[in-house]
Every structure is written in C-alpha cells, then in structure tokens.
Structure 1
Amino acid sequence: MTSQPTAAAGTDPFAGAVPFSGPRFHVEPAALYRELRRDHGALAPVTLDGGIPAWLVLGYRELLHVTGDPVLFSRDSDLWNQWDRIPDDWPLLPMIGRKQPSILYTVGERHRQRAAMMGNAMEAIDAVELRRYAERYADALVDTFCGGGTADILDEFAMLLPVRVLARLYGFPEEQGPLLVKAVKDLVDGGPDAIAGQTHVYTAMTELLEAKKEQPGADVVSRMLADRYDFSDEEIVQDLMVMTVAGHQPTADWIGNSLRLMLTDDRFAASFTGGRHSVGQAMNEVLWEDTPSQNIAGRWASRDTRLGGRQIASGDLLILGFAAANADPQVHLEAGASTNGNNAWFSFGHGEHRCPFPAQEIAEAIARTGIEVLLDRLPDIELAVDPADLVRRPSPWLRGMTKLPVRFTPTPVLGEL
C-alpha cells in the first residue's frame, strides 16, 4: 500500500509542488506518475503556468470519489480560489475558463438537461450509416497517399478522419467538410492559425444552426434543436464546438496511438494478416496504457475537505489524472496481462461529466473502422523509423504522436481497381 502523507498544521500544503509541465509528461509519463505516487501519495501538489497551485489526483479510488461527487467536487470554475492571480493572457484560460457558456462548466439540473440533449441527438445516429461514412472517408484519405509507398499516417490520416465523419453526422454540406477539418486541426495545434481556426469553427457552427432552423434534417444539429429545452443558440453552438473538438482530437490520438502499438509490438502482428480481433485488443490496451486523455482540468472543491490524506481547501483545483489512475498499482493489471474485455479505465471520465456513452460509441466506431480500412488497403504497412525516434506532442494534457511515418507497397486508388 502506498503511504498517504499528511501536511503538518500550519505548513504550506503545496510545499514541494511539482511543475505541471516539462518533457517528462510526454516522454516518460508512466515513470513520472510512479515517482509522484511514491513521493506524495494519491494526490500530488503541482503548479501550473505562472506558479498557480493545483492538485493532481493520481489514485484510482480517489479519482472515482472526485468524479462521483459533483456537489463536493464541482465543475463550476467560478469556485476557484486563484482567480485573483490569473492574468487575462494566461495560456490555460481556454482550458480553464470562467463564465464559459458550454456544457463543460454547467452544473446541476441544467447540465443534466444539456447532456440529455446531446446524448439523445448522438444516440439516434444509425450505426450502419456511421460505419459507412467512416469507411468512405477513410478510403478517400488512403487514396491520397496509397500510390506513393510512404506516408505520415498521423497528419495524412488519423488527424483528418474523425472531424470529417463528425461534420457529416452534424449535417454539414459535403463541400464544407475539408475546410472544417483544417480549421479544427489549426485550433487543436495551437499555432499561429489557432485563433483563425477557432473563429472558422464558431462561424461554421453558427451558420449550420441557422440553416437547420430553416431546413431540419436527419442529423445531430436538427435533433438538438428539436430537443433544446430553453437553451439559447449560443449555448448550442458552444456545445457543438465542444462535441467537435472533444470528439476529434482524442479519437485521432486513439487511432495514432493504437497504430503505433500495432506497428511496434509483435503481439499484434496478426492484424496484418486478417486477424481483426487484434485491432480491438490494441485499442483497449491503449486506453489503459497510453490513453489520449492523460489529464483533465478539472474539479473545484466546494468546501474544505480531506482526500487521499491531504487537506483540500475550498476552491482548490483538482486535475483529473486519468493516465496515472489507470496505472494505480491497486487496480492495474500485472505487466504483460491482457486488457482485452477490461473496460474499467478512466479514459472517457466518470460520473455526471463523463463523455456521453453515445459519443464513446461514435469515437470507437470511427477509430476502429479507420484502422481496419488502413490495414486492409495497406497490408504490409510498417514503421519507417526506429520506434525510439517517434516524438510525442509536448503536452501534459493530451497524449499523442507528432508524426507516425510508415512505408508500404504502393497500391492503386479505389477508383482504379
């Protein structure tokens, strides 16, 4: 059992806090989380950009408790006791915003109503139709590079497929799909085009909402409008943006991380000779060992409390350490043991604010279909670099590759078959 440290009376609870940044979070996070658990127990004090204190929840049981008690550990960021220290240009404001009208920061009955609106709209998606769209767009993407013998599977495939499918499900016209793909990618990359990307996504969602008011169809946006309670147009647009970005980036990284595992681990070699059971096994193992959603901000304590042997003050921020909790030795499987069929990971969250189940099914269908299409079309695909040369994105929040170069025997596009 891991010891649970307690702070002496009058001492700074954040003494010895670890900066929540740096290469170890993306180069060797598993080792880092083990060290944090050894040195601090189930909760580790960390500092965000600018020295802002927070708690990183490392323990599986503690994370269950935090995510399962929305009253004590609220999603209402207005509770934060650090707002007077946060400058207007703080880089984490887009992630830990104040007074944002999206579902991410809504609590209580209104959150339940918004979650029901979104969940019902996604649950009505026909599974056969969803897979057909995913296959269609996956084939179209493979067609763009299959004749060259080499590709960056991340940039040319995984980072493009999810949002392309989501755009079709939401009801965007076909011709708008490619522009939305670029805008979401620019937004997620956080580079010089990020603001322009965000603006494009917001404008596109606003225009789509107006179009569906005039001419509803069999799509997600039309179903949300028909089941909107008293939500404003702005609230629905914000929720559509959350659904798009949250549905795209983790799914893209799920595809990329699963392919990395299958291309570097001999246990999954059967996948390249038609053993499709290994695709699902690899995807499930990634959610345990290499989950795209590493850490999520967050929850705020609504009153003074204790958790994991730590004194938590009212208004303290708790960061949800999904990856660390998945690796908690109290629940983690022995090294080398199969994770197939074990879905107790935290990768989609837990409690009222977890990712809606229909959204999880959509993400899994897109990711699995994309991987299967790629392996069917390029059966001898292999990694084009040493696995040690693969680079992770420099982020403690989302875990994914920057590039995934591969080589294969050139094949004709489908139109030439």
Structure 2
Amino acid sequence: MRREHGSVVPVLLDGDVPAWLVLGYRELHQVTGDPVLFSRDSELWSQWPSIPDDWPMLPMIGRRQPSILYTVGERHRERAAMIGNALEAVDPFELRGHAERFADELIDTICTKGGADIIGDYATLLPVRVLATLYGFSDEQGPGLVTALNDMINGRENAIAGQQHLGSAMAELIALRKAEPAEDVVSRMLADPGGFTDEEITQDLMVMMAAGHQPTADWIGNSLRLMLTDDRFAASLFGGRHSVAEAMNEVLWEDTPTQNVAGRWASRDTQLGGRRVRAGDLLLLGLQGANNDPQVRTHGSEFTGGNSAHFSFGHGEHRCPFPAQEVAEVVARTGIEVVLDRLPDIDLAVPADTLERRPSPWLRGLTALPVNFTPTPSVGGSL
C-alpha cells in the first residue's frame, strides 16, 4: 500500500465511505501533533449525511458521544488530567500484587492439565480483573465484567447485553462511591474539582476499561508468541526474565496490538503527504504503518526497535495517558513473568505458521495460542 500510494492512502470503509489512512511516521506525527487542524471533533465529518443508522463502524466512529474520546480543547485537557491523576495515584506495588494474584489464580486453572490456550484461558481474562479491582469493584463482580467486556469488544451476538451490563455496573459503582468513597480510581475521579457529571465519568470509565483490556491482553499474547517462536528469546523461557521487557518493546514496534485508530477530521483544506485533504475528511491513524515506515527505520537511525519512539500509544494530547501506559505495562509484564515462572517448560503446541490473527483492521491479536507444558500443582486460591 505504501509503495503504491505513498504515506497517505485513500481507503474505503464499510459501505464505500471514503477516508485517508496515514502510514507515514512524519505525517502521523504532524496529524497527532496538531489538534486544531486535525481535530478529534467527529461533528466535522463531511460524510455524516450519508451514514446510515446501522453503519457497523459507528461504535468506532461515534457522533455526539460524551466520552473523552470526542471532547476537544480545554475540556479534553481537564478530563485527561482527571483520568491521569486518578491512575497516577495507583500504588505500583499494589498494582503488581493484584496482577500477580489474578495471574496465579488463572494459571491455577490450567497448570495441572499440561496444555492450554494462553489467549482464551489467560490473556483475555487477566487485564480486566486487575482494572476492575483498581476501579473499586469487588472480586465477585470480576468474572461478570470479564464476560461482558469480551463480548462487547469481540462483537459477539450478546455484545449489546455486554455493553449494558458494563454500563450499569459502572453506574452502580459510581453511586456507591458517592455515598462511600474509598481508595480507588472511581472515588478519585468523583473527587476531581472539574465538575464532571456522572454520565461523563461513566463513559470515561468504560473507555478506559475497553482501551486498557484488549490491547493489554494482545500485548501479552503477542509477546509470548514472539518469545515462543524466536530463538533470541529462548533463554527467557528457561528461568530468565531479562528479555521480557525487550520482547514487549519489540512487539510495540513490530506487532503492536493497536494497529489503526479512527480518527481525526480536517478542520480546513490542507496538504498532507502530497495529498489534498479537504475540510471534513476523516483520517485514520496507521500506527503500525508509521512504526514500519522505512524512512525512519533505516540502519543507525534513532527510530529503531531499541527505543520507545513508536506510535503504539499514540502521540499528542489525545495519546494514551502516561499513567495508563504504566498500568498496562505492569499488568502485561507481570502476566508474562507469571507464565514463565509457573510453566517453565512452556512450548508452542502447533506449528508457528498455523497461528491465526483475529480478522480486525483495528486491533492485532491471536485467536489462540495453544501451548504444552509439564503439569504442575496449583498454588491455591480460586476464581
């Protein structure tokens, strides 16, 4: 696509809806770094008159949604600060403790069997349990939230029911914490002096949980796939941890969970990557395309897989808040380390070239990661 069309590519979404896919590193830096010219305000979109009510991409490209995703200007900065402050106050030792506890409980359910699907049996179950605890949910509510969120994200037949369950659970937790504040994320968001409504906080909590769950699960799965299939990481599978962070960083460059993001809207006519972009045009952020831009991935360049100059968490004022990145990294790294500690001889159960990815243009993750290992006793605890 880059060779044929360059760094900014005309694409068609479902229903032949036109958009631009930004693949160039420098072009993506320009788009995400200029929130005035390339706005997050979806009301600017020139295609709204032709978008049907049942358009399948409406959950990804919403209109008049009250979440932080579609606020702009000072209000966006205030909401981002509220979220960042609430997450920054999370104790890192408690966070790792929660991640280890849930990871051990999940491993307990498979360790005696000698084989498992690390995606379905582990990675897609771990992040949401940790996030739910940070929010202030009880352990008993955790499994229901896992099911609801996975149904909602994966578009299953009960996706709407999952969304409704998640929304009602958030509303109930907010009501509880307004009456009984505690040391948790929800209580800190409610105490913020910004004067946010319950609806705004509910929407932001749902966005945070969805954005923090599936990409983190895919980060775990993609990193373990790399470590199980690449000889460079073999030592880490036999008692060493030094390469876990290296594998995780390489995944963010080469196999990032969030491949593409929708989007930004041009506030006026402009030029981008040699293309004439019109006011109201939609731009999709090609995060993986930018990471692989050969113009910045040359030998000896500062833009290489050895650093964190990737776009996997976005860029600019609408990027993933830094405290949220830290939470995701702790959960993912802990999840991987617990697997290596508890299942030290873990090995891929199928040929590497038979592993399949989910058919999604947005998130890149495995449908399954079958593994074998020597059965080991559980350490106790239950889900």
Q: TM-score, normalised by structure 1?
A: 0.90
Q: Check conservation: 1:268, 1:278, Cα contact below 8 A.
A: yes
SS, match of residue 45 in structure 1: strand
CA distance in 2, matches of 1:283, 1:343: 11
CA distance in 2, matches of 1:51, 1:140: 46
Give matches, 1:197-346, under 5 Å: 197-334=162-299, 341-346=306-311
CA distance in 2, matches of 1:234, 1:411: 47
Corresponding residue of 1:22 = none
Q: Check conservation: 1:119, 1:356, Cα contact below 8 A.
A: yes
1:228 CA drift (Å): 4.7
1:386 and 2:357 matched: no
CA distance in 1, matches of 2:207, 2:287: 19
Letter in 1 for 2:297: H
CA distance in 1, matches of 2:206, 2:97: 24
Higher mean Cα deviation, 224-233 or 359-368?
Answer: 224-233
1:171 and 2:136 matched: yes
Q: Check conservation: 1:285, 1:339, Cα contact below 8 A.
A: no
Give matches, 1:22-33, under 5 Å: none
Structure 2 unaligned blocks of 5 or more: none
SS, match of residue 218 in structure 1: coil
Q: Check conservation: 1:141, 1:156, Cα contact below 8 A.
A: yes
CA distance in 1, matches of 2:96, 2:315: 26
1:247 CA drift (Å): 0.3
Letter in 1 for 2:207: V
CA distance in 2, matches of 1:198, 1:128: 31
1:111 CA drift (Å): 0.2
Q: Check conservation: 1:295, 1:396, Cα contact below 8 A.
A: yes
CA distance in 2, matches of 1:99, 1:330: 38
CA distance in 2, matches of 1:392, 1:56: 21
Q: Check conservation: 2:261, 2:285, Cα contact below 8 A.
A: yes
CA distance in 2, matches of 1:101, 1:359: 20
Corresponding residue of 2:148 = 183
Q: Residues 351, 341 of structure 1: CA spacing in aligned structure 2 closer, same or farther, 3 A cutoff?
A: same
1:217 CA drift (Å): 0.4
Runs of 4+ in structure 1 off by over 4 angstroms are 337-341
Q: Residues 162, 231 of structure 1: CA spacing in aligned structure 2 closer, same or farther, 3 A cutoff?
A: same
Letter in 1 for 2:250: E
Letter in 2 for 1:276: R
CA distance in 1, matches of 2:193, 2:86: 10
Q: Residues 264, 334 of structure 1: CA spacing in aligned structure 2 closer, same or farther, 3 A cutoff?
A: farther
1:340 CA drift (Å): 6.2
CA distance in 2, matches of 1:82, 1:359: 33
1:384 CA drift (Å): 0.4
CA distance in 1, matches of 2:21, 2:249: 24
1:325 CA drift (Å): 0.2
Q: Residues 338, 66 of structure 1: CA spacing in aligned structure 2 closer, same or farther, 3 A cutoff?
A: closer
Corresponding residue of 1:396 = 361
1:341 CA drift (Å): 4.4
Corresponding residue of 1:347 = 312
Letter in 2 for 1:195: I
Letter in 2 for 1:205: M
Deviations 1:265-320 (A, max 9, x none): 01000111222111000000000000000000000000000010000000000000
Q: Check conservation: 1:295, 1:397, Cα contact below 8 A.
A: yes
1:396 CA drift (Å): 0.8
Corresponding residue of 1:370 = 335
Q: Check conservation: 1:284, 1:339, Cα contact below 8 A.
A: no
CA distance in 2, matches of 1:412, 1:328: 47
User: How many residues are treated as equivalent by the alignment?
Assistant: 380
Corresponding residue of 1:410 = 375
1:131 and 2:78 matched: no
Q: Check conservation: 1:281, 1:339, Cα contact below 8 A.
A: no
Deviations 1:203-249 (A, max 9, x none): 00000000000001000000000005121110100000000000001
Q: Check conservation: 2:269, 2:279, Cα contact below 8 A.
A: yes
CA distance in 2, matches of 1:206, 1:275: 44
SS, match of residue 366 in structure 2: coil
CA distance in 1, matches of 2:378, 2:95: 22
Q: Residues 338, 370 of structure 1: CA spacing in aligned structure 2 closer, same or farther, 3 A cutoff?
A: farther
Structure 1 unaligned blocks of 5 or more: 1-35
CA distance in 2, matches of 1:415, 1:215: 32
Q: Of residues 82, 98, 119 in structure 2, which corresponds to 1:154?
A: 119
Give matches, 1:94-113, under 5 Å: 94-113=59-78
SS, match of residue 343 in structure 1: coil
1:80 and 2:59 matched: no
SS, match of residue 415 in structure 1: coil
Q: Check conservation: 1:257, 1:401, Cα contact below 8 A.
A: yes
Q: Residues 338, 75 of structure 1: CA spacing in aligned structure 2 closer, same or farther, 3 A cutoff?
A: closer
Identity percentage of aligned residues? 71
Q: Check conservation: 1:119, 1:359, Cα contact below 8 A.
A: yes
Letter in 1 for 2:150: K
